[in-house]
Chains A and B, each alone.
Chain A
């Protein structure tokens, strides 16, 4: 283990755990999905409104650890108001960072860094905790499932497009 895992539990993550933003359920959501990590029982429900190409509103709720809840909370802030394409870019950038495939701030296809990733880089230390990577990426998974109009997703699903063997991290 290269980094101090304690460093992960810094103020911003603890703050989002205590006071999660966009917490709840959108009543007339155009898209929604349930995300489950059967290994630890984390459970996240994401609802969102896609108007045309724009992600107008998003909310989440669920039962999860601090890493998962803070990740979900910061995710909703990062993608709200973005286009579907921008949201999907962020999903990939976040997963790549959390699994250690890229350094913080980098983007897919080596494009210019996504500004929203700067704030999310507080999660970069998760790559050193292979057992916890899935806690951080579950909300992003679930967002992707909602955008794809899948009702549910699981970190252990065989056909999961974002399935990430833990050995990667």
Chain B
């Protein structure tokens, strides 16, 4: 059975589900459910970002912008427009993907650093609009978010959010694993290694980059909405530059091009500051040092480096 698991395409998904199911049995307090939920929600965004960065090889430094759009859709829809919260979330995802598609069309023609700078600019733009349109967004202080109810069933409390966000993450991971092992996924991985060879083999490089960008924006938006609902309050910083960098860091630490690596990276960067609070003043120093050591000794990121050491391909 173990060998069947090892060879199965969905083995990482099953392993992740197992960890999620077993972890609460060692939680000393309810607070850990909260940390767990925030890890799963961040991981969802990173799984999406990883499709863009790890597989298609395109860097986005403005992904928190999409997160912010999702978060504010979840808040503004129900508060100002009388839209049910779940509908706000779904409309947010669709709108964000539409915006990503429109914004991505011109900027994905850019390469390397130019693309990174253009997405950076997009992130700033979103933060600025969210900060300035205070009639709708509450300005720099942010705004409250109603509870998420799914057809009358209200999701509230850390425990419930732990399971709800875990469920959504597992679906997100499943979709991503499917995509990677499909013609779309192969086209993305191919253009990452050689755009010119991908093109002469019939891959419409510009279109596939745009597809990856749009999908990854959808993941970020969904994560943003869920974070907003679970926290009950949002501010424009969730769309800000530092948050974008945090998402990129999670992706790189966990291992670009590894879907489970994305989850590991998110877990590490969310959990480490909590664990290091005992160090008080030295918290930031140790956090930075840990990240540097990981990149020095596991240069491919945590999961791919370990997988390479044990002679297995990573997924």
Query: Do the two shown chains form a genuine complex with each other?
Result: no
